[in-house]
Amino acid sequence: MITQSWLPLLVLLTSLLSGLIIFTLPENNVRTRTTLNLLAAFSKIGLVSWMIWHIYQGQHYQIHIQFLPNIDFILQMDPLAVMFVSLSAVLWLVTTFYAIGYLEGSPHRSRFFGFFSLCVAATSGVAMAGNLLTFLICYELLTLAAYPLIVHRGTEAARKAGRTYLIYTIGGGVSLLTGTVWLYTLTGTLDFTPQGFVQQLSPALHPQLTIIFMLLIMGLGVKAALVPLHGWLPQAMVAPAPVSALLHAVAVVKAGAFGIVRVLYDVYGIDFSATLGVTAPLVMLAAITIIYGSLRALTQDNLKRRLAFSTVSQVSYITLGVALAGPIGAIGGLVHLVHQGLMKITLFFCAGNLAETLGIHKISEMKGVGRRMPLTMTAFTLAALGMIGVPPIAGFISKWYLGMGALQSGLTWVIGVLLISTLLNAAYFLPILYTAWFDRPDTEPIAHPKTSRLLLWPPLITALLSLAAGLFAALPYTPLEWARFIVDLEFLQP
């Protein structure tokens, strides 16, 4: 049963309107701003949970608004959207708490939280988009809303990073727009359909479809940081910690990866993509990105920069998983969308705590911090081990399914890539853990550092969530179960 429902729009509006109102608040009106932020974040979670509950009972949520003569603006809650929206809603709430603590007393907070909410609104739009036009609109909105956050500090480095970011993302946007319009002129529709809507076109158009696919992937690959389009991401780490956390875990990077999933599943259809021969190059590209990102991460001394290259590598697991074109690999890729978000946001929160509390930005300065900030470093350790793929943390589940998927698709070399990547992950995360827990600090600590509770709880919660997602993976309502559900829809329905 599909009925017109305002709920998806409402989910979008919770963050959009709160963002717009926050812009108008005076700088020192902390109480109203905080209340509004939390109210919006909580009501978003409430709305999403309400919808998930009803979706289990067979309800569908969709809203059509006429936009252009033949294309509607569509928001819908299909299973894939539910996954991404829930992730963004939960992490938005956590990051809001963190950001309130992190930015206490710093200038331009109304501007910051305004754009922060806009970013989340755009991400929800990306998640719930029911056709490629809606997706494009929200995707570009995200491009614009993230810019002020990246340059928030206003330093020369931040402004340079902002320029780089714009050059990459606006260029990518143009590529995506071209692909979208071109596709529309061929098919006359852009509505996401399970198993795709382009396969009925005549074979004579297949070369064009391949070019369009490349254009779309180029546009999305910029945000998903596929090599060689990843250049902006390591630079963007100059942004404040909550921004990096959100950017790497949910908003910008994930929107790109999510878009790739959408294009493969609901525009081209995974079977048709495989027939068209576009998945194999995508697997190659993802594999190269995974190795390259890890290799670059090895040599970074700046903690956030190392984490950024790690994102480059880890986000491509998602692309890899879905591009393997088999159900098991797809489960691995999709579940990694959530798992990587939980783990990476933890790591960035912890990096922010180190910088805020002890002024530590480099790994070489981290000697013995484990004893000075045990809770932060515990969270960091959990997430880092998860990234490496140590059971029973979430990352292990993703890698397990990816490996099985590679076997199922007969691409044994992908297993090799996963192994190398795991070794490299270990090689760039374990030294951090070692130095933090076992090295003696260079100087004796003067006083016991104090991290505010607003900064401490968010990484602990997300670290525990990523542990739980791995431990209880087989229970209902977990990311893994939901990924299976999505994959069933894509692969098993006639």
Partner 1 sequence: MITPDLGITLVVLPLTGALLAFLIRKHAHWIGLGTALAVSLILASLLTDLVTSPGDYYYTLGGWGAPLGIELHLDGLSAFMLMASVVTGLGVSLYAFSYFRIPPQDNGKSAAFWSLWLFLWAGLNALFLSADLFNLYVTLELIGLSAVALTALAGSRDALISAIRYLLTSLLGSLCYLLGIALLYHTYATVDLTLLSGRITAQPSTQAALALITAGLLLKSALFPLHFWLPPAHGSAAAPVSALLSALVVKASFYLLARLWLELFHPIHNLMPDLLGWFGAAAIIWGSLLALRQIRLKLLIAYSTVAQLGYFFLVFPLADNQSDEMLVGAWQGAFYMLLAHAFAKSAMFLAAGNIQLFSGHDRILEFDHIAQRLPLTLAAFSLAGVSIMGLPPSGGFTGKWLLLEAAIAQERWGYAIIILMGGLLAAGYVFKVIGHAFTQAQTESFISETRTIPAMMQWVALALALVSILLGCYPAPLLELLTIGNPFNFFHPGS
Residues of this chain that bind partner 1 (CB under 8 A): 23, 65-69, 107-108, 111, 136-137, 140-141, 143-144, 148, 151-155, 158-159, 162-163, 166, 170-171, 173-174, 177-178, 181-182, 184-185
Cβ proximity to partner 1, 173 vs 370, nearer residue: 173
Q: What's the DSSP call for residue 69? A: T
CA distance 317 to 334: 9
Cβ proximity to partner 1, 42 vs 184, nearer residue: 184
Smallest separation (angstroms) from partner 1 to the CB of 140: 5
- For the four alpha carbons of 300, 305, 306 and 312, in that order, the dihedral sign comes to negative
Residues 6 or more apart from 59 whose CB is under 8 A from it?
1, 51
Smallest separation (angstroms) from partner 1 to the CB of 352: 19
Q: How many residues does the chain have?
A: 494
Smallest separation (angstroms) from partner 1 to the CB of 38: 24
Smallest separation (angstroms) from partner 1 to the CB of 112: 11
Smallest separation (angstroms) from partner 1 to the CB of 173: 7
Smallest separation (angstroms) from partner 1 to the CB of 174: 5
Smallest separation (angstroms) from partner 1 to the CB of 480: 35
Smallest separation (angstroms) from partner 1 to the CB of 246: 18
Q: Which amino acid is at 354?
A: L
Cβ proximity to partner 1, 182 vs 472, nearer residue: 182
What does each C-alpha distance from 392 to 257, 351, 352, 404, 466 come to in angstroms? Answer: 25, 23, 26, 17, 10
Residues 6 or more apart from 410 whose CB is under 8 A from it?
none
Cβ proximity to partner 1, 27 vs 301, nearer residue: 27
Q: What's the DSSP call for residue 25? A: S
Cβ proximity to partner 1, 157 vs 423, nearer residue: 157
Cβ proximity to partner 1, 58 vs 69, nearer residue: 69
Q: Are 79 and 485 in contact (CB under 8 A)?
A: yes
Cβ proximity to partner 1, 178 vs 189, nearer residue: 178
Q: Are 223 and 172 in contact (CB under 8 A)?
A: yes
CA distance 258 to 264: 10
Q: What's the DSSP call for residue 146? A: H
Smallest separation (angstroms) from partner 1 to the CB of 355: 17
Helix and strand element counts for the chain (H, E): 20, 3
Residues 6 or more apart from 327 whose CB is under 8 A from it?
405, 408, 487, 490, 491, 492
Cβ proximity to partner 1, 206 vs 367, nearer residue: 206
Cβ proximity to partner 1, 136 vs 433, nearer residue: 136
CA distance 55 to 49: 10
Smallest separation (angstroms) from partner 1 to the CB of 159: 6
Q: Are 31 and 2 in contact (CB under 8 A)?
A: no
Smallest separation (angstroms) from partner 1 to the CB of 477: 35
Smallest separation (angstroms) from partner 1 to the CB of 215: 11
Cβ proximity to partner 1, 61 vs 168, nearer residue: 168
What does each C-alpha distance from 182 to 146, 258, 371 come to in angstroms? Answer: 27, 21, 58
First-residue to last-residue Cα distance in the chain: 19
Residues 6 or more apart from 162 whose CB is under 8 A from it?
147, 150, 151
* 3-class state of residue 156 by DSSP: helix
Smallest separation (angstroms) from partner 1 to the CB of 71: 9
CA distance 266 to 277: 17
Cβ proximity to partner 1, 140 vs 481, nearer residue: 140
Cis check: omega of the bond before 69, within 30 degrees of 0: no
Q: What's the DSSP call for residue 203? A: G
Q: Phi/psi at 62 (nearest 5 deg)?
A: -155, 145
Cβ proximity to partner 1, 69 vs 359, nearer residue: 69
Residues 6 or more apart from 482 whose CB is under 8 A from it?
79, 82, 83
* 3-class state of residue 183 by DSSP: helix
Cβ proximity to partner 1, 49 vs 155, nearer residue: 155
- Residue 263 burial (CB count, 10 A): 26
Both tokens of 201, joined, read: 């076109």
